[in-house]
Amino acid sequence: MLTIQKIAVIGSGVMGTGIAAHLANCGIPSYLLDIIPPDLDKILKAKPAHLYDSDDIRLITLGLLDQNLDKLKECDWIIEAVPEKLEIKKNLYKKIATYIKKEAWVSSNTSGLSLRDLKFCDKFCITHFFNPPRYLKLVEVIGDAPDLAEFIETKLGKGVVKAKDTPNFIANRIGIFHIYDGFYQCLENKWPVWKVEKIMGPATCRPKSAMFRTCDLVGLDTLSFAVKTSYNGCPSDEQRERLKDPPFLTEMLKRGWLGQKAGQGFYKVEKKNGGKEILAIDLETLEYKPQEKFKTSSLGAVKEMEDPAERLHTVVWAEDEAGQIAWSLISNMLVYAANRLGEIADSPEEIDKALRWGFGWEIGPFEMWDALGIEKITERFKKEGRPVPKHLPKQFYPKPRQAFLQTTQEVEKNDSASLRDLGGGIFCVEFHAKMNAIDPDIIAMLNQGVERAEKEGTGLLIANEGENFCVGANLLMILMAAQNQDWDQIGKIVVEFQSAMQCL
């Protein structure tokens, strides 16, 4: 394992401060250096919070770069996070080159510049953290740095994906195409923003921010900058004409409607009748209008479905309007991802992990191919007269979840949890309550798991495959008990939960 005791982060913008804060979260001291005085308040006042504990700010030492070049000699890893301009980065590298110890790693946090253009020393790579670093799991590593990648995974708790040295790497290359293809399809089909948003969220395995809200969170200027990297760097991309700003986005940028940071983007909040109303932009007129209700049978059917693959399959193959829109948007993305295999990454797994960890998708593009059925997709492509990607397998992945259930024995079960015998003396308590909120049934199963492992086994695993491992206590149950003044019941739950935790 690589030993890293101190790190320097050069650049105190959004990414630099976020990375330094996450290093502090992991107990790693760092220097945060810049050509202007870095501001600790940026970290302390960040929303969402950068730090687990505000006391960890002590692990970050601020300094002006020119006055602290000697400090770089103390560092085992130097992370460059200055503006995305090649000339600025190369001038910085010239300045710091003689202050870097031979065994130290240097990496750039660039989101799209080429390793080939940046590399200035042997132990150099790209480590592309996603923003905000505390919350998003993905770090794309470009270059041969297995020891540094291992450190990022084990010490920083990140999900590392090895990407090839291509424009925008993996997650942004596919994710941004998917968004821009959505822009153009909305114009071509006159789909309103609010309608697409209701389809391209949790119903189709995306986060609640869906498509347009995600754009507002990222910033439309940031998005526009990123798409230019793909357009300029990928002249042979079959979808290159989709990789440029549509007219409505150009006008929004001119008006300064950059998203959340500007107070308006695709959405705008207005006060109404003492409350607030979220208006959505009309892409043709650029007027903000109230969102309309939109319901379909498929969207209604998936509300209670926990399995993301089942949700996706239900919506995409539906014959209602949600199905038509979902198929049009998702099928284009699936083809684009399949055509990138080998170009941006060597395996479907790398691409799937990048989209899950970087964009918050529940399943990645190739997992979607499997969920929808590769044969079924290709048959529809042929009916629609669309080209089918070459070299598609019958299936990209085996079905490990089914194999797991078939080879493990369920020894106890109640409404909220199960106890499974994994073999070799290991038992597993698996939650399956709604959102895995802790209730008396989960507490009871934890106690049974401890008892069974102590008598018949050697270890106990607590695991599940829910979107949330556990959201905490079932507060609704506690509230109802309080409203009924059933203090004995509340006291009993508290005592039993404390007892279960002590047993563990």
Can you list the domains of the chain with their CATH numbers? 7-162 (3.40.50.720), 171-384 (1.10.1040.50), 408-503 (3.90.226.10)
Residue 150 tokens read as 């291992």
Radius of gyration of the chain (CA): 25
Residue 282 tokens read as 């009309």
DSSP 237-250: -TTGGGSS--HHHH
| Confidence label for 410 from pLDDT (cuts 50, 70 and 90) | confident
Rounded CA-CA distance 123/454 in Å is: 49
Residue 27 tokens read as 């107990």
Helix H or strand E segment including 10: strand 7-10
Q: Evaluate whether 9 touches 30 at the Cβ level (below 8 Å).
A: yes
pLDDT in tens, 119-172: 999 999 999 999 999 999 999 999 999 999 999 999 999 999 999 999 999 999
Rounded CA-CA distance 174/356 in Å is: 12
Residue 48: exposure state from Cβ atoms within 10 A (0-12, 13-18, ≥19)? exposed
3-state secondary structure of 490: helix
Best CA proximity match to 124, nearest among 141, 143, 97, 150: 143
> Could you count the other beta carbons within 10 Å of the beta carbon of residue 71?
16
Rounded CA-CA distance 381/387 in Å is: 7
Query: What global pTM score does this model have?
Result: 0.85
Helix H or strand E segment including 465: none
Q: Tokens 């560092």 correspond to what residue? A: 75
What average pLDDT score do residues 42-51 get? 92
pLDDT in tens, 311-369: 999 999 999 999 999 999 999 999 999 999 999 999 999 999 999 999 999 999 999 99
